């Protein structure tokens, strides 16, 4: 049975983790280079699989999936020796003659559960961090993006020993079985609802977790913004991967005086980016919805909004058999409609006019903390007001999405949008235990606090003075 095999591999990795714990930077870099070679060998198969699962163009697949992973590998190789180096810690009164260090140790055997929307990038990125940190790793790609899942399994099996890195395909039952095992760390990317179930399962084994979830990432455009520039950027950020992006702009607040201008520029930008010269939606540039279930879910969101009084300003066409929903702009959207409550995860953009900046602030704060927040404004006091009055995993001012591409920045959510961070050193730390070590010297003044305590009031006076 598959579960028996998984159990066997898990036990092999439990034994091997103690060997990997003492792996050097050179050994881990060699593993990262092996992964890079594997990606190069499988590159054409990866593109073909992404085309089959999501109708992704080769360019978009390269930009958002393959090259993203390769750049993370290069960044980790470049910085790994520095990351692994023990970090000095400042001394206190009780360790004034001691040497204080923080060592980064691998957590052990780690489980990575990946989603279907960026099925290659979002399994490779945490894998790179886990390798850099010196762990044994079990991968579970999404069965929904089955073509990519198959390619990943082949890549891992061909290049890595199963006691170091293993990949298991399968449906939900495989994920549920994996979550029963006492992994040292679980890295999950997916929906908030499933993230809660993962955290609940992890709690039974006291496994630490990193949860990369989602949420409704809002946009605010104030009157001072360059409306055309904002519309172009929002059109790209919303419609890349057909909106199936955890940090895609989910809904937009536009100052009422700029609403008409924004709609005009948004339409122009979408047509330029995703339509042919003949005015047809260009399937070679525009990703499809992953499956029928999600196509029907998105259609349901549109119908619920329009039934409640929202208007389709542009788009709205659906080719159900082709799993294609056209870019769609909604206006007059009631705030209590489903599309303003659920993460959209599709090419539908509600646009909400406002008069007073306090209105969007109240609306955003009435919902769960989003994974991303986007502000378009040239007014510094307004930008400061919006950033200090809200909370989100990350934010961009006068752009969207690009913060995910900088490995020097932590990427992650807060509360309902996630726990922990990834990319660069932040991913390395997610898969590492920060172990504090004190190397005590012969001059150990901490003995002053040992019993007996009689006639030691002077010690307390000394501690009060220096602590």
**What are the residue numbers of the active site?**
212, 246
Cβ proximity of 339 and 348 under 8 Å: yes
Phi and psi at 327, nearest 5°, equal: -55, 130
Q: Find out whether 268 and 314 touch, Cβ atoms under 8 Å.
A: no
Determine which helix (DSSP H) or strand (DSSP E) holds 283, and give its type and residue range: none
- Which residues are 140's β-sheet partners? 113
Report the distance separating Cα 2 and Cα 170, nearest Å.
9
* CA 93 from centre of chain: 41
Q: Which two tokens stand for residue 320?
A: 């159900």
Angle in degrees, CA 20, 11, 213, rounded to 5: 75
Can you tell me which residue has the tokens 């009157």?
223
Q: State how far the Cα of 337 lies from the Cα of 316, in Å rounded to an integer.
A: 17
CA separation (Å) from 35 to 23, 43, 72, 277, 301?
17, 12, 11, 41, 41
| Residues 6+ away with beta carbon under 8 Å from 190 | 113, 115, 198, 212, 213
Could you tell me how many residues make up the chain? Answer: 467
């Amino acid at each position: 049975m598959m579960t028996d095999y998984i159990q066997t591999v898990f036990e092999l990795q439990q034994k091997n983790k103690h060997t990997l714990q003492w792996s050097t930077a050179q050994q881990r870099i060699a593993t990262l280079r092996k992964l890079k070679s594997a990606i190069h060998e499988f590159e054409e198969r990866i593109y073909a699989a992404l085309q089959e699962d999501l109708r992704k163009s080769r360019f978009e697949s390269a930009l958002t999936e393959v090259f993203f992973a390769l750049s993370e590998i290069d960044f980790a190789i470049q910085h790994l020796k520095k990351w692994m180096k023990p970090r000095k810690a400042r001394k206190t009164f009780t360790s004034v003659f001691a040497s204080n260090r923080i060592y980064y140790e691998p957590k052990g055997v780690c489980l990575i559960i990946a989603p279907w929307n960026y099925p290659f990038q979002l399994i490779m990125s945490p894998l790179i961090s886990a390798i850099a940190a010196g762990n044994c790793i079990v991968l579970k790609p999404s069965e929904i993006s089955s073509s990519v899942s198959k390619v990943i399994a082949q890549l891992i099996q061909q290049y890595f020993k199963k006691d170091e890195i293993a990949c298991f395909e399968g449906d939900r039952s495989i994920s549920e079985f994996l979550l029963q095992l006492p992994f040292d760390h679980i890295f999950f990317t997916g929906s908030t609802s499933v993230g809660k179930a993962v955290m609940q399962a992890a709690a039974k084994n006291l496994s630490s977790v990193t949860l990369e979830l989602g949420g409704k990432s809002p946009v605010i455009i104030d009157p001072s913004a360059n409306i055309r520039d904002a519309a172009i950027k929002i059109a790209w950020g919303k419609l890349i991967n057909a909106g199936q992006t955890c940090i895609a702009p989910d809904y937009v607040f536009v100052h009422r005086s700029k609403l008409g201008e924004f709609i005009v520029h948004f339409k122009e930008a979408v047509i330029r980016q995703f339509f042919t010269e003949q005015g047809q939606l260009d399937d070679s540039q525009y990703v499809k919805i992953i499956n029928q279930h999600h196509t029907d879910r998105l259609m349901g969101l549109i119908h619920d909004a329009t039934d409640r009084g929202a208007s389709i300003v542009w788009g709205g066409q659906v080719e159900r058999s082709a799993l294609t929903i056209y870019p769609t702009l909604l206006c007059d959207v009631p705030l209590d409609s489903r599309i303003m409550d659920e993460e959209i995860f599709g090419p539908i953009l509600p646009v909400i006019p406002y008069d007073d900046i306090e209105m969007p602030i109240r609306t955003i704060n009435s919902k769960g903390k989003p994974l991303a927040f986007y502000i378009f404004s040239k007014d510094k006091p307004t930008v400061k007001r919006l950033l200090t009055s809200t909370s989100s995993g990350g934010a961009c001012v006068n752009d969207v999405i690009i913060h995910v591409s900088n490995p020097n920045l932590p990427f992650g959510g807060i509360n309902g949008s996630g726990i922990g961070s990834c990319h660069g050193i932040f991913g390395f730390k997610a898969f590492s235990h920060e172990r504090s070590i004190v190397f005590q010297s012969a001059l150990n003044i901490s003995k002053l606090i040992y019993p007996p305590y009689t006639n030691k009031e002077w010690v307390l006076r000394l501690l009060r003075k220096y602590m």
